[in-house]
């Protein structure tokens, strides 16, 4: 589905940048064709500034999404989520970041979750980057406590794991 969305804007690189940002941030498109987060409107000029595009590109992209029923069904319902990765150490939580050999291969999350459970750690959050939006996708696991060295070794030796980083 994501590739279909991106393909609709392939001929318009600046609009594709806007689409990618809206998807990455979990912003929605309102009934009025404005970029929003919940009921908070995100100024199109701010989005344009961050992406180094003209504000009218953001206007046009949001309006194109609003006028396309398939796109609008996606973009009016998408939501962002709280990601604990950067604040986990402050909260006393463990962070395991896994870089897969192939992000499209199935089963890695299940294998990692099983390994973490064997060490008696509770998983507070598991977030997997979408390879359509992230060049170097990672699986981030937030745990209830510190990560034991033996678990790190086990994860490093797991099939499909390229690299393990612990914070």
For residue 55, tell me if it sits in a domain.
yes
Same domain for 18 and 56?
A: yes
> What pLDDT score was predicted for residue 5?
81
Same domain for 16 and 47?
A: yes
Same domain for 62 and 25?
A: yes
Same domain for 105 and 71?
A: no
Six-digit token pair at 79?
A: 């939501």
> What pLDDT score was predicted for residue 36?
97
State the total domains in the chain.
Answer: 2
Cβ-based neighbour number of residue 22 at 10 Å:
22
For residue 84, tell me if it sits in a domain.
no
Residues 139 and 126: beta-carbon distance below 8 Å: yes
Same domain for 110 and 162?
A: yes
Q: Final residue of a domain: which of 10, 41, 75?
A: 75
Range of the domain at 47: 2-75
For residue 80, tell me if it sits in a domain.
no
For residue 141, tell me if it sits in a domain.
yes
Q: Final residue of a domain: which of 75, 102, 123?
A: 75
Give the burial string for 52-79 (b: 16+ CB within 10 Å, else e).
Answer: ebeeebbbbbbebbbeeeebbebbeeee
CA distance linking residue 121 with residue 111, whole number of Å: 14
Six-digit token pair at 44?
A: 């199109």
> What pLDDT score was predicted for residue 135?
83
Same domain for 71 and 42?
A: yes
Q: Final residue of a domain: which of 75, 103, 123?
A: 75
* Closest to 157 measured CA to CA, from 123, 111, 121: 111
For the chain, 167 residues long, give each residue's pLDDT as a single digit of tens. Answer: 677 887 888 899 999 999 989 988 999 999 999 999 999 999 999 999 999 999 999 999 999 999 999 999 999 999 989 999 999 999 999 999 999 999 888 999 999 999 999 999 999 999 999 887 788 999 999 999 999 999 999 999 999 999 999 99
* Closest to 84 measured CA to CA, from 93, 76, 74, 71: 93
């Amino acid at each position: 589905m994501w590739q279909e969305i991106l393909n609709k804007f392939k001929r318009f690189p600046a609009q594709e940048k806007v689409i990618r940002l809206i998807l990455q941030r979990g912003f929605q498109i309102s009934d009025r064709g404005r970029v929003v987060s919940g009921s908070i409107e995100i100024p199109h000029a701010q989005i344009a500034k961050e992406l180094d595009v003209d504000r009218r590109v953001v206007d046009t992209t949001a309006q194109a999404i609003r006028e396309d029923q398939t796109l609008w069904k996606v973009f009016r319902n998408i939501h962002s989520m709280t990601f604990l990765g950067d604040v986990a150490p402050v909260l006393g939580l463990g962070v395991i970041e896994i870089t897969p050999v192939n992000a499209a291969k199935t089963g890695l999350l299940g294998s990692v979750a099983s390994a973490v459970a064997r060490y008696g750690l509770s998983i507070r959050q598991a977030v997997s980057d979408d390879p359509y939006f992230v060049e170097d996708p990672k699986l981030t696991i937030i745990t209830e406590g510190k990560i034991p060295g033996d678990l790190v070794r086990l994860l490093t030796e797991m099939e499909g794991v390229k690299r393990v980083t612990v914070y």
